[in-house]
Amino acid sequence: MRNEVISTIGKIYVSIYRIDLMRDSLEELSTTDEAHTLTGNTGIASQRIKEFIAEMIQEDYQAEAKKFLCLDTLDQRLAKEETVSMELLCKDGNWYLARFIVKRRDETGKVTHVLYVTRLISETKRKEESLIREVQAANRANAEKTAFLSRLSHDIRTPLNAMQGYMTLAEKQIDNPEHMQKCIDKSKQAGKYLESLVTDVLSLTQIEHGVLTIREEPCDLRKFMYECAEIVQMANADHKVEIKYNIHDLPYPVVKTDRLHRQQIFCNLISNAFRYTGKDGVVELEVYEEVRPEDQGKVLVHSIVRDNGIGMSPEFMKVMYSRFSRAVDTRVNKVRGNGLGLAVVKELVDGMGGTIEVKSELNKGTEFTVSFLLEPVQSEPSQVQKENKIQPYHLLVAEDNDLNYEVEEEIMHMYDITCQRAEDGKECLEMFQKNQNYDAILMDIQMPVMNGWEAAKAIRSLDLAKAKTIPIIAVTANSFQRDIQASKDAGMDAHISKPFNVQELLKILQAKIQKEAD
């Protein structure tokens, strides 16, 4: 019976020893073959333990193991306990749980005999360490997000405060056109920064959810780089930075690429170069192509953004593509940014199949090189469009927000376009049913009673001839790819994100209304 019990317990523990603390003797009850060859059946307990530590325990854990396995202090440690244990890492790479269990005490309560058992816990330990790493990673991510949100809150409030301040100043200087224009220009700059911040956040979210859509179209590399620089210069009018262009070796100046995402990449890089380059600094934009036989008809386009600004430290360069990392905090520095630009750049470049390299040195400057393997075209197809004068269109505008509608109406009025408002999707549907004398419908998406998608579907299903053809354009803050697809599925002809570009809207209106007329 005794052997059966020991055999059963031996399936749980890899080794079981009985130790007589009074005689310093050790007796093996059950053990693995490897441990058995080391310990033997009996022996001097303290001596065997020293040999066990030297032969079996990893060096980094031997000091702690000696303290735990010391028989001289065991009686004291078990004075008020029935068992003590410790996790040990052995030289075979496995973790073991070592445990002393009180077997017998004398009449004074002093421990005289113990069982020493060990159990393999490597799998449990690995799971525990994995969980610890996950928790630590989650804690780091949460700390980074908390710091990011703190900066983001500051970065949002700064331009908002500027916009409100300039509007207040403009109200007090109504009779001073020059000052009014200055306030308007400054407010526009603040608004463009807010828009870029939102765009970066949304881009990362789209990439994270695997919905990055690549739409290739012809792109003139020379014009493209000039356009990116102009966009950044307009948004950073106060930065007196010189731009130098070095565009050379372009046997194929027009290539197929995703213009929108490419623009986002280089506007971010050029904007960073502007912000982190001091007064009278220089930003150089270089573009050239490399034609290689192995590329099978494609060309390797290298685009370089180089500046002589503050540069980056080696420490920051290790984490510069992290989503919430910034080398400079706007709360303690005048350089404005949200810590997302480089993360957006890296993930867009990777998503588009390109590469990005960087060289930087503190107080000397930074150089980013972005390379894409692209298909060349002989010439960019002409965008011949009829230069028709803007017609006095009449639009039905579904918009539940009073301020948004007021802005849209004023902008349309500037182009001799009249509007009628519906405050929700249901009202839009009812107004169209009563009167089809509209040239197009501008449709918000998030509205009470009936949203824009539901309203568009309802209009398209009406038994009215014009219901099938009238242009319906989504004008909404919903700008994810799934939102654009949902608008298309609902029967809408185009999708414009707020704040909308009036020229873009007019271009779409002209094209759609002209198509309906033809």
Report how far residue 136's alpha carbon sits from residue 427's, in angstroms, rounded to the nearest whole number.
Answer: 53
CA distances from 23 to 71, 82, 84, 182, 353 (A): 11, 20, 21, 96, 73
- Say yes or no: 114 and 190 in one domain: no
CA distances from 342 to 83, 262, 271 (A): 56, 13, 11
Q: Which residues in the chain land under pLDDT 50?
A: 1-6, 8, 10, 34-40, 328-338, 380-389
Residue 190 contacts by C-beta under 8 Å, 6 or more apart in sequence?
159, 160, 162, 163, 166
Report how far residue 136's alpha carbon sits from residue 134's, in angstroms, rounded to the nearest whole number.
Answer: 5
Domain count, the chain: 4
Report how far residue 341's alpha carbon sits from residue 343's, in angstroms, rounded to the nearest whole number.
Answer: 5
State which of 348, 376, 404 marks the end of a domain.
376
In a domain? residue 386: no
Query: What tokens appear for 102 in the block?
Result: 């009180």
Q: How do strand 299-307 and strand 365-377 relate by DSSP bridges? A: antiparallel
- Res 152: pLDDT: 58
- Say yes or no: 356 and 314 in one domain: yes
In a domain? residue 480: yes
- Say yes or no: 266 and 354 in one domain: yes
Q: Where would I find the H helices in 419-517?
A: 425-434, 452-460, 481-489, 502-517
- Res 43: pLDDT: 85
- Res 333: pLDDT: 42
State which of 125, 152, 176 marks the end of a domain.
125
- Say yes or no: 408 and 433 in one domain: yes
- Res 252: pLDDT: 93
- Res 338: pLDDT: 44
CATH at 424? 3.40.50.2300
- Res 122: pLDDT: 79
Which H or E run includes 203?
Answer: helix 177-208
Report how far residue 31's alpha carbon sits from residue 33's, in angstroms, rounded to the nearest whole number.
Answer: 7
- Say yes or no: 228 and 353 in one domain: yes
CATH at 82? 3.30.450.20
The alpha carbon of 299 is separated from its chain's Cα centroid by a whole number of angstroms, namely 30
- Say yes or no: 327 and 424 in one domain: no
Report how far residue 518's alpha carbon sits from residue 516's, in angstroms, rounded to the nearest whole number.
Answer: 5
Query: What tokens appear for 18 in the block?
Result: 């009985």
In a domain? residue 383: no
Specify whether the CB–CB gap between 372 and 301 falls below 8 A: yes
Amino acid symbol at 370: V
- Res 203: pLDDT: 65
In a domain? residue 110: yes
User: How do residues 315-367 score in pLDDT, each as one tens digit?
Assistant: 888 888 876 555 544 433 444 444 567 887 898 899 899 999 999 999 899 99
Amino acid symbol at 64: E
| Enclosing domain of residue 400 | 393-516
- Say yes or no: 402 and 504 in one domain: yes
In a domain? residue 29: yes
In a domain? residue 382: no
CATH at 174? 1.10.287.130
State which of 101, 125, 149 marks the end of a domain.
125
User: How do residues 283-305 score in pLDDT, each as one tens digit?
Assistant: 999 999 999 988 888 999 999 99
- Say yes or no: 291 and 155 in one domain: no
- Say yes or no: 418 and 351 in one domain: no
In a domain? residue 387: no
Residue 499: is the preceding peptide bond cis (ω within 30°)?
A: yes
Specify whether the CB–CB gap between 364 and 289 falls below 8 A: no
In a domain? residue 388: no
Q: Annotate 159-190 with DSSP letters as a single string.
A: HHHHHHHHHHHHHHTTT-HHHHHHHHHHHHHH
CATH at 222? 3.30.565.10
- Say yes or no: 152 and 263 in one domain: no
- Res 123: pLDDT: 79
Q: Annotate 324-364 with DSSP letters as a single string.
A: T--SS-TTTSS----S-HHHHHHHHHHHTT-EEEEEEETTT
Query: What tokens appear for 77 in the block?
Result: 């440690």
The model's pTM: 0.48
- Say yes or no: 200 and 264 in one domain: no
- Say yes or no: 134 and 121 in one domain: no
- Give the CA radius of gyration of the chain: 36
- Res 348: pLDDT: 87
